[in-house]
């Protein structure tokens, strides 16, 4: 054997089951590519939750409206990083945007991302926070005041009429934003769904499942953040807000679960050439993360718990606790969903005759360490954002968002 052989790979070679094509030993997409759809899913989900309030006037979730927008932004800023880090040549990343190869789903990344970030999210946040920014630009001094003054873009008018314009523009952008958020995440689903070589990925339902799981994870995240920020700021956690979010979460989860089940039913019924290997995959290598975490922990338990809150008269306090823990379980469950899609899809050979293994490194470029940092970063950014543009009512300038 040549001296430069990687011991981890040689060990992996021992764990191969059945026959894999020789080049398939190494997994091409690791933990970072698990995190990428997880993050974009949270962006899309948080944004869609905010839009519900905006477009359909669901007043109960008003308290988390602006926080959801900032959360979407914080996660969106980090979302491209895992992609970038996993490239063999990150320095050439801009080639994708400068010279996109138009038949590639991945080449659309730049456009979809730029559209969503620039046109939708930033504009929406600007319209929503403009009155606050103007307020701060007048009270803050030094470089901070300078930043606020620049951010007003020169529109200092905060009269009733001007605010009404803000509100109107915000609504229009939200209406554009909902399909954009769906596009953003549906597109990520398509990156996987378009691979016909891989039966685990290549299904038309993939983008749809991605979108629904995104909505589920986004609502769960906002529910958790609402409780955590409420606790941290010592403000009352409104039951009606929790109830509304719990309800959305329940129905979104029911829908998501139904879609996933449909996918499985379809696969079993059609029983195409890949079904044997997929069954082996699910009952073997993915048993823990798919059946254990995704199905039982992340779907069935929260589904039951949330279901109980919908049908039984449960007192406020335990009800809120049930919402909170269901949301936590769902967040873990959706991470498992991403893992099962990305890693699961690469564990079996395209010969459909065997399996390889995957064990993420602890440190290094594509490692658990980098992965954890990427998962924590959005929260730090969110914390900074909430300092800079407090989303809570009553902080900064009180304005009305009702229409």
Binding mask 25-64 for other proteins (x = CB under 8 A): xx-xx-----------------------------------
Residue tagged 């959706």 (tokens) = 334
Binding mask 306-335 for other proteins (x = CB under 8 A): ------------------------------
**How far apart are alpha carbons 284 and 278 in whole angstroms?**
10
Nearer Cβ to other proteins (261/403): 403
Smallest gap from Cβ 122 to other proteins, in A, equals 10
DSSP 8-state class, residue 92: G
Residue tagged 């954009």 (tokens) = 180
Tell which positions 274-313 bind other proteins, by CB under 8 A.
none
201 C-beta neighbours (distance < 10 Å), count: 19
**How far apart are alpha carbons 164 and 239 in whole angstroms?**
30
Nearer Cβ to other proteins (213/346): 346
Counting residues that bind other proteins (by CB under 8 A) gives 62
Structure tokens at 344: 């699961």
**60 Cβ contact list (under 8 Å, min separation 6):** 238, 240, 241, 243, 244
Applying CB under 8 A, the span of 93-101, 260-268, 298-306, 385-393 interacting with other proteins comes to: 93-101
Smallest gap from Cβ 17 to other proteins, in A, equals 12
Does 265 participate in binding other proteins (rule CB under 8 A)? no
Give the phi and the psi of residue 23 in degrees, each rounded to 5. -75, -5
Residue tagged 């499985």 (tokens) = 264
SS3 state at 367: strand
**How far apart are alpha carbons 318 and 58 in whole angstroms?**
24
**Which position among 58, 81, 107, 259 is part of the footprint of other proteins (CB under 8 A)?**
107
Does 14 participate in binding other proteins (rule CB under 8 A)? no
The CA–CA distances, whole Å, from 149 to 125, 131, 138, 174 equal 16, 12, 8, 25
Tell which positions 326-385 bind other proteins, by CB under 8 A.
346, 349-353
**Which position among 8, 55, 87, 373 is part of the footprint of other proteins (CB under 8 A)?**
87
**Which position among 8, 55, 59, 104 is part of the footprint of other proteins (CB under 8 A)?**
104
Binding mask 152-191 for other proteins (x = CB under 8 A): -x-x-x-x-xx--x---x---------------------x
Applying CB under 8 A, the span of 58-66, 104-112, 213-221, 279-287 interacting with other proteins comes to: 104-112
Q: Which of 37, 33, 389 shows the shortest CA–CA distance to 218?
A: 37
Does 402 participate in binding other proteins (rule CB under 8 A)? no
Contact 355, 25 (CB under 8 A): no
Smallest gap from Cβ 111 to other proteins, in A, equals 9
**How far apart are alpha carbons 374 and 358 in whole angstroms?**
20
Applying CB under 8 A, the span of 142-150, 196-204, 245-253, 298-306 interacting with other proteins comes to: 196-204
Return the exposure string of 171-180: e unless at least 16 CB atoms fall within 10 Å of the residue's CB, then b: bebbeebbeb
**Binding stretches for other proteins (CB under 8 A):** 1-2, 4-6, 9, 13, 18-26, 28-29, 83, 86-90, 92-93, 95-101, 103-107, 109, 118-119, 123, 153, 155, 157, 159, 161-162, 165, 169, 191, 194-198, 346, 349-353
């Amino acid at each position: 054997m040549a001296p430069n052989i990687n011991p981890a790979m040689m060990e992996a070679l021992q764990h191969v089951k059945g026959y894999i094509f020789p080049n398939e030993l190494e997994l091409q997409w690791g933990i970072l590519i698990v995190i990428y759809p997880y993050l974009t899913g949270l962006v899309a989900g948080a944004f869609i939750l905010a839009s519900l309030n905006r477009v359909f006037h669901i007043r109960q979730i008003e308290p988390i409206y602006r926080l959801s927008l900032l959360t979407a932004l914080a996660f969106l800023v980090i979302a491209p990083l895992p992609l970038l880090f996993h490239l063999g040549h990150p320095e050439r990343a801009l080639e994708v945007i400068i010279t996109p190869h138009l038949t590639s789903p991945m080449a659309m990344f730049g456009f979809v991302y730029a559209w969503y970030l620039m046109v939708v999210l930033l504009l929406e946040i600007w319209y929503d926070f403009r009155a606050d920014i103007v307020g701060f630009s007048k009270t803050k001094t030094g470089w901070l005041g300078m930043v606020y003054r620049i951010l007003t873009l020169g529109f200092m008018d905060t009269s009733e009429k001007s605010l009404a314009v803000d509100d109107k523009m915000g609504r229009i952008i939200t209406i554009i934003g909902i399909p954009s958020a769906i596009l953003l995440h549906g597109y990520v689903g398509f990156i996987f769904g378009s691979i016909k070589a891989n039966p685990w990925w290549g299904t038309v339902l993939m983008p749809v499942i991605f979108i629904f799981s995104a909505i589920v994870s986004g609502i769960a995240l906002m529910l958790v953040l609402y409780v955590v920020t409420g606790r941290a700021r010592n403000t009352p956690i409104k039951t009606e807000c929790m109830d509304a979010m719990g309800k959305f979460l329940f129905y979104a989860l029911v829908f998501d679960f139904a879609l996933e089940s449909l996918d499985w039913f379809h696969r079993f019924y059609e029983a195409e050439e890949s079904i044997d290997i997929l069954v082996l995959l699910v009952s073997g290598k993915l048993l823990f993360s798919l059946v254990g975490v995704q199905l039982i922990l992340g779907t069935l338990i929260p589904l039951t718990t949330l279901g109980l809150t919908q049908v039984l008269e449960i007192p406020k306090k335990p009800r809120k606790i049930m919402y909170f823990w269901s949301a936590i379980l769902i967040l873990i469950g959706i991470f498992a969903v991403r893992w099962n899609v990305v890693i699961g899809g690469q564990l079996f050979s395209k010969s459909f005759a065997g399996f390889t293994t995957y064990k993420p490194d602890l440190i290094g470029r594509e490692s658990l360490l980098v992965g954890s940092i990427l998962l924590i970063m959005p929260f730090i950014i969110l914390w900074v954002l909430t300092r800079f543009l407090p989303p809570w009512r009553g902080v900064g300038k009180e304005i009305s968002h009702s229409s």
